[in-house]
A and B are shown apart, each in its own frame.
Chain A
Amino acid sequence: DVQLVESGGGLVQPGGSLRLSCVASGFTFNAYWMHWVRQTPGKGLVWISHINSDGSDTSYADSVKGRFTISRDNAKNTVYLQMNSLRAGDTGVYYCTTDDPGLGIDSWGQGTLVTVSS
């Protein structure tokens, strides 16, 4: 079974940084694209970033471009989200998801809560 386990969330002050990790198992990690998606009570689900299977291509939502960086280590079956210059609007539960090319976003982790507040 596919398992995605996120970690790294927490409380951080505005302007601070966090690094989220997502460890994957149960599937051929290096064949899948991966995404980060944020959920907030007021705005539902918002796509944040994607990375292709070998890490050579990435994309970001306009709201995080220049502040967030997605990366992956296929040897460790792990995808990361480095979040810098955090703002109150970045608060939410961050999920990593799989993306089987051709079939789209599929499995989701349990999420990790990021709270940006002074």
Chain B
Amino acid sequence: DVVMTQSPLSLPVTLGQPASISCRSSQSLAHADGITYLNWFHQRPGRSPRRLIYQVSNRDSGVPDRFSGSGSGTDFTLRISRVEAEDVGIYYCMQGSHWPPWTFGQGTKVEIK
């Protein structure tokens, strides 16, 4: 199974400042079809997860452009250019390149300082 490791697990941020979350996989997520199936999800307190990014760097519809994803192979990053209050919650990376099982990172809790 592919193990997904996120860091940090807790991220206090200042409003208006940038934030960055790392996600590393135990093996390359490059699929034989040439696509890397690495998604990012955001879960606000008391809510269901919502996908932000698919295939490493593609923003879902309605996702603000302050969110960006990058990376390749085993090393991926989610960046928020300027943190807003609504960005608090837990962020998860997830791989769908080598399944089953689909696997998630442990989650990174973002809170405002």
**Interface set of A (CB-CB < 8 Å, partner B):** 35, 44-47, 50, 59-62, 95, 99, 102-111
Contact = CB atoms under 8 A, between A and B. Distances in A.
B100 A44 contact: no
Given A44-B106, A45-B107, A95-B48, A103 B99 contact: no
B104 A44 contact: yes
Interface of B: 35, 37, 39, 41, 48-51, 54-55, 60, 92, 94, 96, 99-107
B48 A111 contact: yes
Contacts of B39: 104-105
Contact of A106 (B51, B92, B100): B51
A72 to B, nearest CB: 17
Given A105-B94, A108-B48, A111-B48, A47 B104 contact: yes
Overall SS of chain A's interface: strand
A60 B100 CA distance: 7
A59 B100 contact: yes
Contact of B49 (A45, A62, A99): A45
A117 B42 CA distance: 30
Given A45-B107, A103-B55, A108 B50 contact: yes
Contacts of B51: 105-107
Contacts of B35: 102
Contact of A44 (B54, B55, B99, B107): B107
Contacts of B92: 44-45
Most buried by A among B54, B55, B92, B105: B54
Given A95-B48, A103-B55, A104-B54, 13 more contacts: A44-B105, A45-B92, A47-B100, A47-B101, A50-B102, A59-B101, A61-B101, A99-B96, A104-B55, A104-B94, A106-B51, A107-B51, A108-B48
